[in-house]
Structure 1
Amino acid sequence: MQKFYKNLSIWLIIALASLLLFNYCQKSPDRHHAVPYTEFLKKVDSGHLSKVTMINNTVLWETSDGSLFKTVVPQTNDALEHLLLKNVAVRAEEPPQTPWFLQTLLSWLPIFLLAFLWFFYFQKGSGQGNGGGGRAMAFGKSRARLINPEESKIKLNDVAGIDEAKEEVAELIDFLKKPERFVEAGARIPTGVLLYGEPGTGKTLLAKAIAGEAGVPFFSISGSNFVEMYVGIGASRVRDLFKEGKKKAPCIIFIDEIDAVGRHRSSGSGSGGNDEREQTLNQLLVEMDGFEANDHVIVIAATNRQDILDPALLRPGRFDRQVMVPLPDVGGREKILKVHARNTKVGPDVNWQVIAKGTPGFSGAQLASLVNEAALLTTRKNSPTISMEILEAAKDKVLMGAERRSLIITDREKRITACHEAGHALVAWMLPGADPVHKVTIIPRGRALGLTMQLPEEERNSHDRTFLFNNLSTLLGGRIAEEIVFNQMTTGAGNDIERVSDIARHMVCEWGMSEAIGPLTFRASNPLSNQPGQIISEQTAVLIDVEVKKLVQSAYDRARGLLEEHRTLLDAITDALIERETLSRADIQGIIEITERK
């Protein structure tokens, strides 16, 4: 219907333009030159005019040489009497008339256009095809996008790496397909399901897969779309959204980033945006609490910040079920990579298990980006398929950033960078229990002049004190190598020192890994969740600083001892990095074996 109105308006504009053009073409161009009234009288008095033509107050006349002139005369009879007195033949003509159809069109056109625009917007505003998202000037209407069952192409097979979360929501699909079975059995299906987890883990994709598998309408909206500068608009949109959902039942209402409206309500009386957000949240609580057993509407929400949601949202009867969508493990990452590689041409040498092991901590979105980067790189290289080498290059780009080979670096800076990265790699190599070194490079990537990549041999869900202490030593290895070789410090270790300080303070203040302080937690303030920090005495604060420094100094001394003991290996790795720019684990192994034989 909307397409029809659009085509109709286009044809009306074409017809109007054609009429105006036709009327313009009917008019002959005016070739008369305008002459003032006084000059005209002089011409009459001179006796050079024999005849004129009068059209209303305009006199048209012609000279003996054929020149055409016109003069506008006053609205009196003086000019006519003067012409007759001079024996000038006067002929009167009627002015040209506008065609009746054009005159009618121009008279009624404004009214017609106003009526058409009103009718067009009225029809668009009353349509329910998109769940109210396209309604003109309907501020209080829901902006949710409606995806009909026939339009939903995402199924559960498209979701990989989060098997436990899929099992948690599987019964929702059965309920949406055959709700009468649950009603007859007296079962109460969860009113709402909250999906929470790290960004990019597939929360939105899982919600769409539920709707696609169940074959029901899917209303999708972001939490920020409820809140406006006008108080009451958000609550109105919530009412309209649930009203539309009940009309389409059974269906799914999906609210992405619900923390935009579901944050903790303030205890005091707020103003402005806080009032609007809290009214929107109150209306959401009322609507979810007002569901009946036969409404057959399930609300699914997603958030990265479950800790800041209002407790009233999480109580039974609203978001009954809370499903964590975790980062995938190595097996899950392998499945996700295969799902995203379905529509690509993959070479026979590709080993997805190796790529999965080399991407610890990657989310589903990052793995999708990795496969896409590999496909783009394949196109740039004119390769017929995605090879293992291309996948490794794409992984490095996603992990470490794009190469900046155009960056101009002096020979001295290059050697300092090589020495710095060699220090990281050598300390990590020599420390038992540290993650194995995977690759070392001095090619600038992102904001770093060089990088040392370590990849764990197995998935870790918790870290012991030895592992964390080894991390401190490895991070300090770059700065120590610069001191040993060049007897100076550079800014290249800035990020390393920041990470060392952060890990050491967590070990002392949160993980109870300090013997002097013991298993105590000292929580800092968190402005994002409005949580105040723990009040500690001045004596305890000094003790924390002493323990953090003691921990870092101990790691520093251990790393320095290793590098001084293996100074020959440090120089050999540095020279190899300057020559080759990138060293793999096998390359470092070879350098160590050759150096030790000497």
Structure 2
Amino acid sequence: MSDNQEPEGDPKPNPWMKSLLVWGGIFLALLLVVQMVGGPREEPGTQIAYSDFRKQVAEGSVESVKIAPDKIAGKLKNGNTFSTVPVENDTNLPVLLEENGVTFSGAAEEKMSVLTVILIQSLPFLLILGIAFFVLRQVQKGGGAGGAMGFGKSKAKMLTEKQGKVTFADVAGIDEAREELEEVVEFLKDPQRFSKLGGQIPKGALLVGSPGTGKTLLARAIAGEAGVPFFTISGSDFVEMFVGVGASRVRDMFEQAKKNAPCIVFIDEIDAVGRSRGHGLGNSNDEREQTLNQLLVEMDGFEANEGIIIVAATNRPDVLDPALLRPGRFDRQVVVPVPDIDGREKILEVHMKKVPLAPDVNSRTIARGTPGFSGADLANLVNEAALLAARRNKRLVAMQEFEDAKDKVMMGAERRSMVMTEDEKKMTAYHEAGHALVSLNEPASDPIHKATIIPRGRALGMVMRLPERDNYSYHRDKMHANLAVAMGGRVAEEIIFGHDKVSSGASGDIQYATDLAKNMVTKWGMSDKLGPLQYEQQQEGYLGMGQSARTMAGAETNKLIDAEIKSLVEGGLKRATEILTKQEDKLHLLAQAMLEYETLTGEEINELMKTGKIDRPDEPRGPAPVRPAQGSSIPKAGKRFSGDGGPAPQAG
């Protein structure tokens, strides 16, 4: 989004000077080679013995010679050249040459210039220095700012907004979080407005939210709006295997920030360096904890850092050290939530500006059908719709592309090439019809959005339910309804095909129902026998991260918890059995319709239950051709039904 430039105080080398030095080194190397070679030399001719040379002189075959202290070179009358090594103290040679009419002259001894001697002698040292310089340059590239001699220098980069500028106008759906950060930007622009009433600039703001909710986008918007230097760094950039390097980088980062104050420093994924101290496997005074200690001191220690605002982002605030979260370090914790329906509509409109839309596209309808989607999910949805339209050679992205993209994101891509036998398709149709029929007869259940027997992802079929509005809490009656709907597919298989023909296709349903019942008993206090107590909590730490453990439960209590979980799931099984037994004729009707159309909308299912038929303006697509299984069995295990452990859409 922006160009990176080095912070002040750490100037970049001039590229022109670097090129000049490189070409200067090449020129010196070429000069050395030329000096060593000594330019073009005459051909030395045939090497002969000194006695043969004197004999040829006496015979009159030699035309001319050049006499040097260490060599004699000459030319014969027939045009050939020769050379020989003279014998010391041969004083008769000039007389012999003069008597036989040979032209002779002396030649100086060849000596290398002083420059050549110096270059030759210094060549090994120059080679060693060149290798050392190359190694240091490579370490500098890998070691971040400061290079090999500055391994502890900060990797923070200062951002400028020359192109791709992001502002708060590009942030939608999280208005409360945006307003809190807008106030920080206003303080930087006009501090007197707040300081005249005794207000002090906040030292830090921690952005907390699930992945994809827009924490980093908010930070980019701050960079675009603030008009002050903005440094960005990741929490993992502080962590090194060498003790003390991270703390040194923290100190250097704050030194750079002081030179550019007032400024903002953004630390992304701060949980990489800010985890609670004392949870390590070895010595507690390890590199990460030293880095955290230095960060704590720099943010609010004996020496104040005026004009530096720290903005950090994390999706794991529960693992951060309490000393890092206290006021004076992070004065504000800004929650960046998953957007509600109004927020989703605004986010969709932001992303749809980049896409040519057909007139039938309604962002409100898409927002209603995407509960639980984060900003990143919605951006992916718009992108998938655009890709689908391009594959279909359309000039505009229509509502059909958005619906297909939503199905792909929620349920997975269609697997029409999957080989299924007729019996397997029939069992899948009755399984999904069981889910749908139980859902229609449970008043607390969410309305059905779509039912399909087209394999998607790991599932062979799916019934998707969407809430009419965003849900922030769930009631007991809805949870019991979800248990019954989850068991509907297995009950339908048993009623139609018999006890021995029940398939493994309900494995995902059973897993969902078991998890829901366990949460009802151990976390939400919805068991009359166990009471409103929490028997399970998350354990953090390197050994038990993300694992749950029953903290209050003894042996007898564990047995009672398991019995209550089993009772809740079997209660849902009983409710589904009662509904489908009484309405077996509707179960057949719905299953046959799904075999014919493969995919039914919620409105079509309701129409079928009321009138016994489906009125489609187009001809039914009909079932896909069933090919023989060729001796291979199709695994029926897969996630067919996922209920609402949160505001996420339900499919089953």
Q: TM-score range by the shorter chain?
A: 0.7 to 0.9
Report the CA distance between 1:518 and its aligned residue.
1.6
2:640: which partner in 1? Answer: none
Deviation at 1:214, TM superposition (A): 1.8
Moved more, 224-233 or 437-446: 437-446
> Residues 183 and 294 of structure 1 are in contact (CA less than 8 Å); yes or no, is this contact kept in structure 2?
no
Q: Paired residue for 1:427, among 438, 443, 448?
A: 438
1:340 Cα shift? 1.2
The CA deviation at 1:246 is 1.5
Residue 529 of structure 1: how far off its partner (Å):
6.8
Q: Please, which of 199, 212, 224 is the counterpart of residue 224 of structure 2? A: 212
Amino acid at match of 1:379: A
**Match for residue 564 of structure 1?**
581
Are 2:71 and 2:86, in contact at CA under 8 Å, matched by a contact in 1? Answer: no
Q: Deviations over 1:399-450 (max 9, x none)?
A: 1222233333333322222222222222212221211111122222222222
The residue identity in structure 1 corresponding to 2:248 is S
Alignment pair present for 1:343 and 2:343: no
Correspondent of 2:341 among 327, 330, 339: 330
State yes or no: 1:280 paired with 2:266: no
SS at 2:158 equivalent: strand
Which residue number corresponds to residue 582 of structure 1? 599
Matches within 5 A, 1:408-419: 408-419=419-430
Counterpart residue type for residue 223 of structure 2: A
In the alignment, what sits opposite 1:495?
508
Alpha-carbon offset, residue 485 of structure 1: 2.2
CA contact (8 A) 1:443 1:582 kept: yes
- The alpha-carbon distance between structure 1 residues 23 and 351, as it changes in their structure 2 partners (threshold 3 A), is farther
Could you say which residue in structure 2 is the equivalent of 1:468?
A: 479
Matching residue within 527, 542, 545 for 2:562: 545
**Hey, what's the Cα distance between the residues in 2 that align with 1:257 and 1:492?**
39
What secondary structure is seen at the aligned counterpart in 2 of 1:319? coil
2:523 to 510, 514, 534: 510
Give the TM-score normalised by structure 2. Answer: 0.76
1:372-411 aligned within 5 A: 372-411=383-422
What per-residue deviation string (whole Å, max 9, x for no partner) do you get for residues 507-531 of structure 1? 1111111111121110245222799
Tell me which residue corresponds to 1:190: 202
Report what 2:623 is aligned to. Answer: none
- Per the alignment, in what secondary structure is the counterpart of residue 347 of structure 1? coil
Q: How does 1:260-339 map to 2 (within 5 A)?
A: 260-266=272-278, 270-271=282-283, 275-290=286-301, 295-339=306-350
Residues 406-415 or 191-200, more deviating: 406-415
The percentage of counterpart residues that share the same residue type is 49
SS of the residue corresponding to residue 450 of structure 2 reads strand
Residue 60 to residue 201, structure 1, CA distance change in 2 (3 Å): farther
Determine helix, strand or coil for the equivalent of 1:583: strand
CA RMSD of aligned residues (A): 4.5
Q: Tell me what 2:96 maps to.
A: none
**Greater RCO structure (CA 8 Å; 6+ sep):** 2
Q: List runs of 5+ in structure 1 lacking aligned partners.
A: 81-86, 127-131
Cα 1:113/1:375, change in 2 over 3 Å: farther
Residue type of the partner of 1:153? Answer: K
Q: What amino acid sits opposite 2:467 in the alignment?
A: P
Q: Deviations over 1:24-66 (max 9, x none)?
A: 9999999999x9x9xx99xx99x99x9999999999999xxx9
How far the C-alpha of 1:241 sits from its partner, in A, is 1.0
Q: Distance in 2 between matches of 1:270 and 1:210?
A: 39
Q: Which moves more between the two structures, 378-387 or 237-246?
A: 378-387
Sort the Cα spacing of 1:56 and 1:261 in 2 relative to 1 into closer, same or farther, 3 A. Answer: farther
The one-character-per-residue Cα deviations of 1:289-323 (angstroms, maximum 9, x if unpaired) are 13877811111111111111111111121111111
Number of the residue aligned with 2:265: 253
1:260 counterpart letter in structure 2: A
* Cα 1:103/1:409, change in 2 over 3 Å: farther
> 3-state DSSP class of the match of 2:207?
strand
CA contact (8 A) 1:370 1:394 kept: yes
Counterpart code for 2:577: R
State the Cα distance separating 1:461 from its structure 2 match: 0.6
- Corresponding residue of 1:368: 379
Q: Distance in 1 between matches of 2:538 and 2:305?
A: 45
Q: Tell me if structure 2 keeps the 8 A contact 1:245–1:251.
A: yes
> 1:235 maps to what in 2?
247
Mapped to 1, the partners of 2:521 and 2:268 lie a distance apart of 37
Between 391-400 and 441-450, report the one with greater CA deviation. Answer: 441-450
* Residue 185 (structure 2) aligned to one of 173, 176, 198: 173
Contact 1:140–1:234 (Cα < 8 Å) also in 2 = yes
Q: Aligned partners of 2:165 and 2:238: how far apart in 1? A: 27
Equivalent-residue separation in structure 2 for 1:93 and 1:401 (angstroms)? 92
Alpha carbons of 1:344 and 1:524: their partners in 2 closer, same or farther (altered >3 Å)?
same
Secondary structure of 1:193's partner?
Answer: strand
SS of residue paired to 1:166: helix
Letter in 2 for 1:312: A
Q: Distance in 2 between matches of 1:506 and 1:471?
A: 13
Q: After superposition, where does 1:82-93 map in structure 2 within 5 Å?
A: none
3-state SS in 1 of match to 2:405:
helix
Aligned partners of 2:393, 2:290: CA distance in 1, in Å?
Answer: 57
TM-score between the two structures when normalised by the length of structure 1: 0.82
CA, structure 1 residues 365+107, in 2 after alignment: closer, same or farther (shift >3 Å)?
farther
- CA distance in structure 2 between the partners assigned to 1:574 and 1:54 by the alignment: 115
Which blocks of at least 5 consecutive residues in structure 2 are unaligned?
1-12, 91-99, 615-652
Report the CA distance shift for 1:395/1:31 in structure 2 as closer, same or farther (over 3 A): farther
Whether the 8 Å contact between 2:167 and 2:221 is mirrored in structure 1 is yes
| Correspondence for 2:590 among 559, 573, 586 | 573
Out of 434-443 and 528-537, give the one that drifted further: 528-537
Q: For the Cα contact (< 8 Å) 2:145–2:151, is it kept in 1?
A: no
CA gap of 1:142–1:382, structure 2 versus 1, over 3 A, is same
Q: Answer yes or no: is 1:443 the counterpart of 2:460.
A: no
Partner Cα distance (2:519, 2:174) in 1: 29
CA 1:111–1:571 in structure 2 vs 1: closer, same or farther (change >3 Å)?
A: same
CA change 1:21–1:159 in 2 (3 A) is farther
Matches of 1:177 and 1:199 in 2, distance apart?
A: 30
Q: How far, CA to CA, are the matches of 2:44 and 2:483 in structure 1?
A: 96
What SS is found at the alignment partner of 2:536?
coil
- Equivalent residues in 2 for 1:102-121, closer than 5 Å: 111=126, 114=129
Change (3 A) 1:168 1:248: same
What SS does the aligned partner of 2:562 have?
A: helix
1:454 aligns with 2:465: yes
**Aligned partners of 1:435 and 1:456 also within 8 Å:** yes
Partner secondary structure for residue 318 of structure 1: coil
2:170 corresponds to which of 158, 168, 174: 158
Listed one character per residue, the Cα deviations across residues 60-96 of structure 1 (whole Å, up to 9, x for unaligned) are 999xxx999x99x9x9969x9xxxxxx9x99999999
Preserved CA contact (<8 Å) 1:149 1:216: no
Q: 1:269 to 1:24 in 2, by over 3 A?
A: closer
SS of match in other structure, 2:525? coil
Equivalent-residue separation in structure 1 for 2:22 and 2:480 (angstroms): 73
Could you list the structure 1 runs, at least 4 aligned residues long, displaced by more than 6 angstroms after superposition. 16-33, 50-62, 75-78, 89-110, 119-122, 291-294, 529-532
Instruction: After superposition, give the CA deviation of every residue in 1:512-555 in whole Å (9 maximum; x if it has no partner).
Output: 11111121110245222799751322111111111111110010
Structure 2: distance between partners of 1:335 and 1:268: 44
Does the CA-based 8 Å contact 1:263-1:309 persist in structure 2? yes
In structure 2, the CA distance between the partners of 1:412 and 1:455, relative to structure 1 (3 Å rule), is same
- CA 1:531–1:405: 2 relative to 1, 3 Å: closer
Alpha-carbon spacing, 1:557–1:292, altered in 2? closer, same or farther (3 Å):
same
Report the Cα distance in structure 2 between the residues aligned to 1:10 and 1:268, rounded to whole angstroms.
49
Match status 1:480 vs 2:491: yes
